[in-house]
Structure 1
Amino acid sequence: MTPQIFSEIATLIHDAERILFITGAGISADSGLPTYRGIGGLYDDVHTEEGIPIEVALSGDMLRQQPELTWKYLLQVERACRGAGYNLAHRLIALLEQIKPQSWVLTQNIDGFHRAAGSRQLIEIHGKVGELLCAKCHFEMAVPDYRHIESVPICPRCHNVMRPNVVLFGEMLPEQAVAELHREMVRGFDLVFSIGTSSVFPYIAQPVFEARQWNAKVVEINPGFTEVSGFVHYQLPMRALDAMQGIWQALGYPLPQDDASR
């Protein structure tokens, strides 16, 4: 990728007031998490040792029918997230939010890395593993990790099965996150980044398609071509960390000293 491209994108950032960063599993690949279109970025179209697709094991229906099976794989998802941390790409996005305070992050990821890196105007459209809730009495609790959970956690109030506050396969998106996304989409954006996502979900691709109505430029950062590649102004065939570092340096800022993965 030529310095000229980074310079042009840096100019777009400089001129923009509202920037939307859409991120998927690819941004966390540099933290050590595998990429995948589904939950947590941990599986690649595989069957579980029980012989069923991972999408079935990690579905809302299976959680209701066999919670111990779903929790077996939820624990694996959380363990992988716990063993990694945010990387420089997450941190640079958070710093750009500070420079451009009307900017937002829309992420598919449940790993919590954006929040840990400092992002605050953040829509975690698929939820986050760090919260447990009871579907029956709506009791909620924050947990630092799952290291003390060995099987199915039980609600301390009503003794029903608890679950992580994430969107499992076959479930609806959380109403609050959808409403928040809609509110910001109505306001529009000057610049849209699509980073490390295949954009197969309509609600992830929609901001890219609507960018024309906002007269906004779109930058895609992804090693391969995706559902939205034909609609963007810049397609950077790179890993998120390398691309964000190049853009940041083109802006003329020094790299942060706390850029190690957490």
Structure 2
Amino acid sequence: MVERALLMQTAAALRHAQRILIITGAGLSADSGLPTYRGVGGLYNGSTEDGLPIEMALSGPMLRRDPALCWKYIAQLGRACLGAQPNAGHYAIAQLQRIKPECWVLTQNVDGYHRAAGSPPERLIEIHGQLAPLFCQSCGEIDPELSEHLRRPLPPLCKQCQGILRPPVVLFEEMLPERALETLYQEMDKGFDAVLSIGTTASFPYIHEPVLRTRVSGGFTAEINPTRTDHSGSMDVFLGCRALEVLEELVSHI
């Protein structure tokens, strides 16, 4: 059971904050039925059924070298994401963004659930990209038919030039999207009054740096996670629970 005093402390801090950053990871989408995943949208631990580490099978070099094999795992990820929906946590975050016009979301998730729940795209930073729409690596043609392609032989091919399609997601050994990184650092330079980290254990600099910067500048930091992470001890508040258990109530007090 979450300590109510900590919940109310977090609600009060968010209520008084103007500039807020919500950082979300796989733990948020776990309540939609998606497995928590390591790396790129994952579903995997250790080796794949092909005997390769997932970091190799689901990588940019593998997409170029053996598109069918790479797409086998992109498709597993795609089917999982298309087979579920945003949960109440996603909707609560979108509601907070409606209440607070300077509230941003930085997500590692590629499932698109923040958009589906109503988070404004102009205040949503999808740092690992998203699964749709597909685009052709040869001619750049956009193809919105991800679900249809997942029912056909893989890899999917471009209708215009027969080049291989891919999603705008960051695979292993690929660079983060330049525009998303640029937006994140622009907003970090403006500073945040409060940062709320939800369902992520990642210690990537681009995930943890906003928390550190906000603490140094005197802002409020909180974490929602079922288990403690390497960064829990440095947060002002740690709520040891699933996001779904507290987010709706948290936002209701703001």
Q: One fold, TM greater than 0.5?
A: yes
Give the Å deviation of 1:58: 0.3
Q: Is the 8 A contact 1:199 1:227 kept in 2?
A: no
In structure 2, the partner of 1:113 is: 113
For 1:231 and 1:95, locate their aligned partners in 2 and report how far apart those are by CA, in whole Å.
27
1:144 positional shift: 5.5
Mapped to 1, the partners of 2:20 and 2:188 lie a distance apart of: 11
Partner of 1:60: 60
Question: Distance in 1 between the 2:192 and 2:139 partners?
Answer: 38
- Return the letter of the residue paired with 1:24: G
Query: 1:189 aligned to 2:196?
Result: no
Q: 1:132 aligns with which of 128, 131, 134?
A: 134
Q: Residue 208 of structure 1 contacts residue 231 of structure 1 at CA under 8 Å; is this kept in 2?
A: no
1:163 aligns with 2:158: no
Q: Please say if 1:36 is aligned against 2:37.
A: yes
Which consecutive segments of 4 or more residues in structure 1 shift more than 6 A? Answer: none
- State the distance in 2 between where 1:233 and 1:242 align: 19
In 1: Cα distance, 2:163 partner to 2:72 partner: 17
| Corresponding residue SS for 2:31 | helix
CA 1:220–1:173 in 2, change beyond 3 Å: closer, same or farther?
same
Question: How many positions carry a matched residue from both structures?
Answer: 250
Gaps of 5+ in 2: none
State the 1:3 CA deviation. 1.9
Offset from partner CA, 1:87-129 (integer Å, 9 cap, x none): 0000000000000011100000000000000001101111111
* Percent sequence identity over aligned pairs: 50
Q: Relative to structure 2, which stretch is displaced further, 200-209 or 138-147? A: 138-147
Aligned-residue RMSD, C-alpha = 1.5
Q: CA deviation at 1:214?
A: 3.2
- Give the 3 Å change call, closer, same or farther, for CA 143–179 of structure 1 in structure 2: farther
Matched residue, 2:220: 217
Does structure 2 conserve the Cα–Cα contact (< 8 Å) formed by 1:110 and 1:129?
Answer: yes
Q: Deviations over 1:128-180 (max 9, x none)?
A: 11221223333323336344443111223333211111000111001111111
Find the counterpart in structure 1 of residue 27 from structure 2.
Answer: 26
Corresponding residue of 2:82: 82
Cα contact 1:33–1:41 (8 A) shared by 2 = no
Q: Secondary structure at the match of 1:130?
A: coil
Give me the TM-score of the superposition, normalised by structure 1.
0.91
- 1:67-105: per-residue Cα shift (whole Å, max 9, x none)? 000001111111001111100000000000000011100
Provide the C-alpha distance between the structure 1 equivalents of 2:43 and 2:196, rounded to a whole number of angstroms.
24
My pick for the range that moved more, 226-235 or 50-59, is: 226-235
SS at match of 2:167: strand
Opposite residue 3 of structure 2, the aligned amino acid is T
Contact 1:155 1:162 in 2 (8 A): yes
TM-score by length of 2: 0.93
Match of 1:257 in 2: none
Tell me the distance in 1 between the aligned counterparts of 2:217 and 2:92: 25
